[in-house]
Amino acid sequence: MSSGIVHDVVVNPNIIEMEYAVRGAIPQRAAELKKEGRKIIFCNIGNPQALGQRPISYYRQILSLIEDPGLISRERQLRKAIASSVRDASLMMKDDVLDKAEFILQKMESGMGAYTESRGPAFIREAIAHFIDTRDEVTSEEGVYANPDHIFLTNGASDAVKSVLEMLIAGPNDGIMIPIPQYPLYSATIKKYGGVQVNYYPDEDSGWSLERRALDESIQAARQQGVNVKAIVVINPGNPTGAIIDERSQREVISFAHENNLAIIADEVYQENVYDGRFVSFAKMLGRAPVPLFSLHSVSKGFYGECGHRGGYLEVRNAPNIKGTSANFIDILVKQASVSLCSNTVGQVLTYLMVTPPAPGSVSAASFAREKQQILDDLYHKAETIKEAFTRMEGIHCFGRIGALYLFPRMDRLPANTTDFDYCMQLLDTTGLCTVNGLGFGQKPGTHHLRIAFLPPAEMLQEVLPQWIEFHNRYVNS
Ligand SMILES: Cc1ncc(COP(=O)(O)O)c(C=O)c1O
């Protein structure tokens, strides 16, 4: 029988030290306030549907059909039986929705409840490769075609980041360059796997552009400390900055990586959130340059916002061979994927839907395009509204084009002996607005920022922004 004494246990200290500000002290305080009955606007995380964004109907109808395949034939029979008496066709599932669900089910072979191939079903990887080639305008003369065998379906991009970093960090001196500020998944994962975080600093005042000098300084400083730098992470569009990396900066990163034998980890989960321009992928910019590239995409962001369904993919180019073995990086990634059996099938199907939207002219094309455009327009409009409010706050500057789901303004006039953490806590207490302070993402020493996700409904923003402006101008002059 147990003596009732619970023994202490030693756990991985890296996990204890790991930090993740997006769900840190400020959101925790917000949750407490909410429990006490306060109205809280959660802008601390890019979780669109938590703030009322409606899922795309086309996706959800197909998901419901494939989860309960009997619905497909029932829907078809029902259609025939009552078509003449139902006047409103929008009450019924569209033909192309039923067809697509049927097609997916047939391709999934063993249905949604079975494990799939570890990398993910081949038809989905082929569709992803086609999506990448179309997006990047690859032709037999220009660019490099994506290889479906070098694509892995993942439980969101987070999973992909973990598996790549787990492989690259082979010892305590292995370093990964990350932009500062960064999305803390990177700092946390580097910490977890016992590697060295090597910071580099995009230039805020020029819209977060990347200068070669900043990259060189960062790698030289790391090497002087004995760090073996293995890869550089780029987040485009950026989180937390929302900034879009220009093509000149992309070229700088590629030549820097090439000259220093680094792999590039291109986090492109916000590729649909480029509101006033065109997204250019690192795969496209890389062309035939022999630099290992790990590109990530996800169903969590864009206009889909399906964070909870955990879908995404990792695409690998120029996969390196593994030193001292006859194996290639892809072989080991396959082995790693097989240990987890497979990513979840709903996420896989959503990823498939993300890369195969309704064909132009098809029955669902117009309603799909309408829903998509409405979401993207709303997001951009909300970002502009918040940016405009910043112009009425003393000492606030927000650099770069609008991208991703965030604004990351710099606060140049905080009262003496206060930090951006104090500011965000006070902002939360006064207005109910939950943001994350800049330190949670890393920032140049001596600067102060906050990140706000521009996701709350417009009416909520209209209500809270005047309160924020008033709070801000009082706070910085206190
Ligand atoms: C830059 C970036 N990468 C990856 C992720 C994780 O996305 P997923 O939900 O696909 O794991 C996020 C989530 O906010 C993110 O902002």
| Residues 200-232: b if buried by 16+ CB within 10 A, e if exposed | bbbebeebbbbbeebbeebbeebeeeebebbbb
> Phi and psi dihedrals of 359, rounded to 5?
-65, 145
From atom 13 of ligand 1, which residue's Cα is the shortest distance away? 46
Structure tokens at 312: 């995404």
Mutate to test the pocket of ligand 1, among 153, 183, 244, 407 (most ligand atoms within 8 A of CB): 183
C-alpha count within 13 angstroms, C-beta hemisphere, residue 264: 29
pTM above 0.85, yes or no: yes
Q: CA–CA distance from 424 to each of 41, 88, 188 (Å)?
A: 13, 50, 22
* 186 Cβ below 6 A of ligand 1: no
Does 156 sit in the ligand 1 pocket, CB within 6 Å?
yes
Q: Tell whether the model's pLDDT for residue 45 goes beyond 90.
A: no
Please tell me if the CB atom of residue 298 comes closer than 6 angstroms to any atom of ligand 1: yes
Mean model confidence pLDDT for the chain: 91
Burial (CB count <10 Å: 0-12, 13-18, 19+), residue 63: buried
Is the CB–ligand 1 distance for residue 234 below 6 Å? Answer: no
Please tell me the predicted confidence (pLDDT) of residue 20. Answer: 64
Could you tell me which residue, 3 or 270, shows the higher pLDDT?
270
pLDDT tens digits for range 252-279: 999 999 999 999 999 999 999 999 889 9
Ligand 1 geometric centre to CA of 156 (Å): 7
Domain boundaries, the chain: 13-52+369-476, 122-355
Residue 11, pLDDT > 80, answer no
pLDDT value at 91 more than 80: no
Q: Which atom of ligand 1 is nearest to the CA of 47?
A: 14
Ligand 1 centre to CA of 446 (Å) is 27
List, in sequence order, the alpha helices (H) in 11-90.
13-17, 25-35, 57-67, 70-82
Kindly give the distance from the C-alpha atom of residue 16 to the centroid of ligand 1, in angstroms, as a whole number: 22
Class of the CATH domain delimited by 13-52+369-476: alpha beta
> Strand 436-437 and strand 151-154: pairing?
unpaired
Determine the distance separating the centroid of ligand 1 and the alpha carbon of 371, expressed in angstroms: 23
pLDDT reading at 88 higher than 60: no
Query: Can you read off the two tokens belonging to residue 382?
Result: 């909300």
Residue 258 CA, ligand 1 centroid: distance in Å: 26
Q: Is the pLDDT of residue 23 over 80?
A: no
477 vs 167, 413, 414, 416, 418, CA distance in Å?
Answer: 50, 8, 8, 10, 12
Per-residue model confidence (pLDDT) at position 89: 58
Alpha carbon of 456 to ligand 1 centroid (Å): 19
Looking from the CA of residue 156, the nearest atom of ligand 1 is 10
Q: Secondary structure of 82-111 in the HEC alphabet?
A: HCCCCCCHHHCCCHHHHHHHHHHHHHHCCC
How many residues would you count in the chain? 478
Q: Which two tokens stand for residue 244?
A: 């879009």
Asked if pLDDT for residue 85 goes beyond 70, the answer is no
Report whether residue 153 contacts ligand 1, using a CB cutoff of 6 Å.
no
The preferred substitution site among 268, 298, 344, 405 for testing ligand 1, maximizing ligand atoms within 8 Å of CB, is: 298
Is 307 a pocket residue for ligand 1 (Cβ < 6 Å)? Answer: yes
CATH number for 122-355 (one of 3.40.640.10, 3.30.565.10, 3.10.129.10, 1.10.3720.10): it is 3.40.640.10
The per-residue pLDDT for range 115-155, each reduced to its tens digit, is 998 899 999 999 999 999 999 999 988 889 999 999 999 99
Q: Which atom of ligand 1 is nearest to the CA of 312?
A: 10
Cβ of residue 431 lying under 6 Å from some atom of ligand 1: no
The per-residue pLDDT for range 284-337, each reduced to its tens digit, is 999 999 999 999 999 999 999 999 999 999 999 999 888 888 888 898 898 888
- Nearest C-alpha neighbor of 404 from the set 271, 292, 246, 257: 271
